[in-house]
Amino acid sequence: MNDQPVAPAPRSEASPQADSPQATPRRSTARIVRRPVHGVLLLDKPLGLTSNHALQRARWLLRAEKAGHTGTLDPLASGLLPLCFGAATKFSQVSLDADKAYRATLQLGQRSDTGDGEGRITAGAPPAFDFDALAAACRALTGPIAQVPPMHSALKKDGKALYAYARAGLAVERAPRRVTIRRLDVVEWQADRLVIDVVCSKGTYVRTLAADLGDALGCGAWLRALRRTASGPLRIEQAITLDALETLDEAGRDALLLPPDVLLADWPVLRLPDDEAGRFLSGLRRRVSAPDAPAVRVYGPEARAFLGSAHITAGELIADRLLSPLEVHAIAA
């Protein structure tokens, strides 16, 4: 990684921010005929590629009409990037809001003004702590914490992204934000290198967490590498690389698509009889004999007849996001 200062780009990590501009994917000069594609592709995003660039390459390979991703990964980060196609884009916010898991590699004994290797690296102090002190520092940063968003991020102040102020050499006041670190586990520690596993709420900046951990240890730290390993119920072990995707024919790529309801896999299920399913799809509220719930996934009588998401209040099923009848049939088929 380059230790010299360069013009910073927007960072996002666990926070869904906009991608910085990148070159468009390599494409054939032949016209691509788009088609309706419905489902979720779990992509293992490589280093050096923006999330949007990765999305557009996958969309081109699938010839999909509609596509979106569920939370930006920096070009300097790799790992799980769920891509939504067609009807699945209606539920992408669920994945955006979900907890994320990362494996992070920290460089100890140094600090970076961007929190990673793209910034100006300065000396900290030689690591002089023992494992008990490390475990105590990790415990102190676990649970609800306040994070000050980094200047090199796409968050906006007075309508301008923070990284724009940083490029101009300006620092502006940023209000701390509440995030939750569900788990912070030590995987490996050797001299000035520390590997940790982090499970955190949306909006968490892992490089800020790395810097805070380095400060707590009295030596300083910056984020040398970051890999997303999970997003809600989805895991990196299920993901495919772009290179592997490119070797498949179209049928092979289609076979990798998971149904849209995989994004809601940890929600309770409510199944409706055929006549009630039709009324629900039309947006009508239905009386159900089920306990109140803030979020349920709703199905028709057939096993794969996913209809959409809803909530239950006072025995009434109220639709939140619905599929069209055509989408229901296409997914079930």
Which residues are part of the catalytic machinery?
74
Residue 27: partners with Cβ closer than 8 Å, 6 or more residues away: 60
DSSP state for residue 106 in the 8-state scheme: E
Tokens standing for residue 267: 């929600």
Angle at Cα 42 formed by Cα 182 and Cα 266, nearest 5°? 50
Residue where the block lists tokens 């884009």: 89
- Alpha carbon distance 333, 326 (integer Å): 11
Cα–Cα dist 16/97, whole Å: 9
* Measured distance CA(144)–CA(121) in Å, rounded: 29
Q: Find the helix or strand (DSSP H, E) in which 96 lies.
A: helix 92-97
Rg (CA), the chain: 22
Burial class (CB in 10 A: 0-12, 13-18, 19+), 193: middle
Residue 183's alpha-carbon distances to 83, 196, 198, 200, 275, in angstroms, are: 26, 10, 6, 7, 45
The answer to whether 13 and 202 have CB atoms below 8 angstroms apart is: no
Residue entry with tokens 């008990």? 132
- Tell me the CB-side half-sphere exposure of residue 8, using CA atoms within 13 A: 26
Closest CA to 13 of 182, 146, 200, 259: 200
Give the strand pairing for 77-85 and 221-231. parallel
